[in-house]
Amino acid sequence: MPKYLILRRSKDDPATSKPGSLEETACAIAEVLTQLPLSAERLRAIPVDGPAATFATLKESAICSITIDKKSQNFWNSEVFDVQESFDQFITAKNRAEQNLNDALTDMKEKLYESRAFSNLDPEDDISVYSALDTLGESDFHYKFIETLRDQYQYQKMRGLFDE
């Protein structure tokens, strides 16, 4: 199965992956698995058996390696993308719920403050919107999901991952 080193692509580097290629998909996978704030467009995949890979390894400029073939590319495109997208939608819904609850709590706090009888009460002494939703477990699930993908694509973090 082909293995690729994933590198940061400089902004002025005109070389991009061919749409639909294994290289393009390897960059998309690396974007998700590294969890770094780098888009797939800012990454470049090179085969590990080429001279550029040897140079990148010596320079320690590789972020990670990904193993991918047509079958695992199809799996990524047909299943993984949809699961990741639904997870992102879940997080968006959670964030929206947090905001709605926080807005309602702020409104209640204002009403209490305006009241003569209840102005000494602060609902935030007893109600924590964020700690309640932090126990949903989505972080644990996402970690398991990412680890499963790392195994699937034989992801290997390289030295210098968090450098620069």
pLDDT tens, residue by residue, 98-135: 999 999 999 999 999 999 899 999 988 888 887 777 77
How many degrees, rounded to 5, is the angle at CA 162 between CA 161 and CA 164? Answer: 110
154: region left, alpha or beta (phi > 0 left; psi from -120 to 50 alpha)? left
C-alpha 64, offset from chain centre: 15
Residue 20 sits at φ, ψ, to 5 deg, of: 85, 0
Q: What mean pLDDT value characterizes the chain?
A: 86
Q: Global pTM?
A: 0.76
pLDDT tens, residue by residue, 13-40: 777 778 889 999 999 999 999 988 888 8
Q: Is the pLDDT of residue 163 over 50?
A: no
